[in-house]
Amino acid sequence: MPDLIDGSENVSVHGIFNWILLLIIFSIITVIGNYLGYKHPMTDSLIGMGILSLITLIGVWLERELPFNISSILYISVIGILIAFPGMPTSEFVLYYVSHVELLSIVTVFLAYVGIGMGKSWDEFKALGWRAVVITILVIAATYYGAAIVAHIVLVLTGVPAV
Amino acid sequence: MPLIYTIILGLVFYLAKPIKWIQRKQARIAEGAMMLFIGVLIAKLAVSSGQSISLIFKMGPALILQELGHLATILVLPIALLLGFKKEAIGMTNSIGREPNVAVVVDKYGFNSAESRGVFAIFIIGTVIGTIFISFLVTFSLSFLPLHPYAFAMASGVGSASMNAAAIGPTLAAFPGLETQIEAFAGFSNLLSFCVGIYIVIFVALPLTEKIYDWLEPKIGREALVPETEDE
């Protein structure tokens, strides 16, 4: 495979085609997982993945094209929230098809790539001592529990029933 | 847990020497492609957020305040000092040490500073073990901590897309019937961690970590360990 990603530093047509190709591959794998694991009809979830891929493409493209130093994650989030907003003409269509894409099917395929990407940092990882590993584990746990406990206290104080 | 299996399979395929067709170049492509696939994941979460926007506004106080809960990382600072870290500890414990946090620390202390070395260490280790560790942590917590389902959902937005993804999986499985709400809160809280969290790090977490470091270091700081300086 040629360097699929290296062309994506600036938006050439070349880069965009590669992104689309990657998104199509990703969508197909996800739809198959979605069908096998959750029995969602293939066409519905394929359209759902199409919508999600399109949002992603626009978001990534905006990040490269607009002069602001804003991450594509923010563009994608705003577009996603807007088109699903109750009352928007697009919302019914989007919600119907996107609801046929299980989050877990996306996550599973995504994490396989995370695993391969992780392998790349393996040598640097081995060079760090066990003390740093201990600190990392504690830091992640502290972030998670800190947020969970504060959220829980506020939810209880504001009287949100435990569903 | 299919999630952990896929991560481990991906890692094993890369590391296993006999498997020739996933090499460094493919890994680089996988890493670049990941940026694109994060987008799809974020888009799905955003659609759930948009759908539940009125619920999100209703839970606004909890969503905003739980961002301050991330300050709990500073509690790890004394342990880092006891283990023999010096200024590195400031970079290590001010936040979870993902991309935006690395940028803030490098920007403030310079690329070759001890603080930056600390945050790089957390970043690399977090990349390698973070996803697996957080899915175990969440699975464990779900069965032992009697917290509100929404609190678990909000907490999974730690400011890293892959850790967010790994934390949502078990949470969704534990509360069937609440999928949309959990996705909405998890996605929105991760978004907040990205855009609000960074200012909390700049204006609250880093200055606070420095203050506590100056106060604690003379009291409990150890001799910098020789092997430790070699490592970094």
What CA–CA distance (Å, rounded) separates B139 from B224?
36
Q: In the predicted model, is pLDDT for residue B229 greater than 70?
A: no
Cα separation of A37 and A51, whole Å? 21
* pLDDT greater than 70 at residue A37: yes
Contacts of A152 in chain B (CB under 8 A): 147-148, 151
pLDDT given for residue A6 in this prediction: 42
User: What ipTM was predicted for this assembly?
Assistant: 0.83
Per-residue pLDDT, B228: 45
**A145 and A106 in one domain?**
no
Q: Could you tell me the sign of the dihedral formed by the alpha carbons of A100, A101, A105, A109, in that order? A: positive
- The pLDDT mean for chain A works out to 81
Q: How close does chain B come to A39, measured CA to CA in Å?
A: 17
Q: Which chain A residues have a beta carbon less than 8 Å from that of B138? A: 144
Q: Does residue A39 lie in a domain region?
A: yes
Q: Summarize pLDDT for A134-148 with one digit per residue, the tens.
A: 999 999 999 999 999
Cβ of residue A32 closer than 8 Å to a chain B Cβ? no
Structural domain of A159: 128-163
Using 50, 70 and 90 to split pLDDT, how confident is the model at B110? confident
Maximum average pLDDT range among A1-5, A118-122, B46-50, B82-86 = B82-86
Does residue A141 sit in helix, strand or coil? Answer: helix
Interface size A-B, in CB pairs within 8 Å, comes to 374
Q: Which stretch, A87-96, A125-134, A146-155, B112-121, has highest mean pLDDT?
A: A146-155
Does A115 share its domain with A134? no
If we measure between CA atoms, which residue out of B177, B176, B175, B170 comes closest to residue B156? B170
Judged against a pLDDT cut of 60, whether residue A123 lies above it is answered with: yes
What pLDDT shows up at residue B171? Answer: 92
A101 and A25: one domain?
A: yes
Chain A CB contacts of B42 below 8 Å? 56, 73, 76-77, 80
B103 touches chain A (CB under 8 A): no
Cβ-based burial of B172 (10 A; exposed 0-12, middle 13-18, buried ≥19) = buried
CA distances from residue B27 to A149, B31, B127 in whole angstroms, order as listed: 37, 6, 14
Question: In the prediction, which pLDDT does B217 show?
Answer: 86
Which carries the bigger pLDDT value, residue B2 or residue B202? B202
Whether the predicted pLDDT of B176 surpasses 60: yes
Better-predicted residue by pLDDT, B17 or B5: B5
**Are A74 and A22 in the same domain?**
yes
Answer whether residue A107 is part of any domain: yes
pLDDT of residue A135: 93
- Predicted confidence at residue B131, as pLDDT, reads 87
Query: According to the model, what pLDDT value does residue A161 have?
Result: 76
Q: What is the band of B94 on the pLDDT scale with cuts at 50, 70, 90?
A: very high
Q: Judge contact between B82 and B110, C-beta under 8 A.
A: no
Q: Do A85 and B61 touch (CB under 8 A)?
A: no
Query: For residue B183, which phi and psi values (nearest 5 degrees)?
Result: -60, -40
In this predicted model, which residue has the larger pLDDT, B145 or A2? B145
Looking at the structure, do residues A97 and A35 belong to the same domain, yes or no?
A: yes
- Cβ contact B15:A118 at 8 Å: no
Q: Name which of B40, B66, B156 is nearest A150 (Cβ-Cβ).
A: B66
Residues of A in contact with B167 (CB under 8 A): 144
Q: In B, which residues are within 8 Å of A57 by CB distance?
A: 39
| Interface test mutation site (partner A, options B22, B47, B83, B104, max chain A beta carbons within 10 A) | B47
pLDDT of residue A3: 43
- Each residue of A5-30: pLDDT tens digit? 443 444 445 577 888 888 898 899 88
Domain match, A45 and A70 both: yes
Give me the pLDDT at residue B26, please: 65
In a domain, A86, yes or no: yes
Q: Does A12 touch chain B (CB under 8 A)?
A: no
Q: Over 80: is that where the pLDDT of B11 sits?
A: no
- Residue A106 to residue B133, Cβ atoms within 8 A: no
* pLDDT higher than 90, residue B154: yes
Question: Residues 6 or more apart from A46 whose CB is under 8 A from it?
Answer: A27, A31
Q: Cβ distance B210 to B109 under 8 Å?
A: no
The predicted model gives B184-193 an average pLDDT of: 87
Tokens of B52: 């539940």
Q: Which residues contact A39 (CB under 8 A, 6 or more apart)?
A: none
Residue A1 lies in a domain: no
A5 CB near a chain B CB, below 8 Å? yes
pLDDT band at A153; cut points 50, 70, 90: very high
Query: What is the Cα–Cα distance from B189 to A33, expressed in whole angstroms?
Result: 27
CA distance A39 to A25: 20
**What radius of gyration do chain B's Cα atoms show?**
19
What does the domain layout of chain B look like in residue ranges?
A: 2-231
Look at phi and psi of residue B72 and say left if phi exceeds 0, alpha if psi is from -120 to 50, else beta.
alpha
User: Over pLDDT 90: what percentage of chain B?
Assistant: 23
pLDDT mean over A94-107: 85
Residues A67 and A25 in one domain: yes
The pLDDT confidence band at residue B227, using thresholds 50, 70 and 90, is very low
Contacts of B83 (CB under 8 A, 6+ apart): A131, A134, A135, B222
Task: Average the pLDDT over B80-105 and give the result.
Answer: 88
Structure tokens at A50: 């199409």
Please give the tally of structural domains in chain A. Answer: 2
Judge if A51 and A82 occupy the same domain. yes
**Residue B37 confidence (pLDDT):** 81
Q: What is the mean pLDDT of residues B188-217?
A: 87
Which 3 state secondary structure label does DSSP give A9? helix
Mean pLDDT value across residues B71-97: 91
Residues of B in contact with A76 (CB under 8 A): 39, 42-43, 46
Inter-chain residue contact B124 with A124, CB threshold 8 Å: yes
- The two structure tokens encoding residue B8: 């481990």
Q: Coil, strand, or helix at residue A148?
A: helix
Kindly state the average pLDDT of the residues B62-86.
90
DSSP B84-116: T--THHHHHHSS---HHHHHHHHHHH-TTSHHH
DSSP characters over chain B:
-HHHHHHHHHHHHHH-TT-TTS-HHHHHHHHHHHHHHHHHHHHHHHHHHHHTHHHHHHTHHHHHHHHHHGGGGGGGHHHHHHTT--THHHHHHSS---HHHHHHHHHHH-TTSHHHHHHHHHHHHHHHHHHHHHHHHHHHHHHH----HHHHHHHT--S-HHHHHHHHHHHHHHSTT-HHHHHHHHHHHHHHHHHTHHHHIIIIIHHHHHHHHHHHHHHHPPPPPHHHHHH-
pLDDT at A2: 40
Say what the pLDDT of residue B20 is: 58
Chain B interface, best mutation among A114, A120, A130, A153, by max B CB count within 10 A: A114
pLDDT surpasses 70 at B19: no
Give Cβ neighbours of residue B77 (< 8 Å, ≥ 6 apart).
B89, B90, B93, B209, B212, B213, B216
- Confidence check: pLDDT of B40 > 90: no
Residues A21 and A51 in one domain: yes
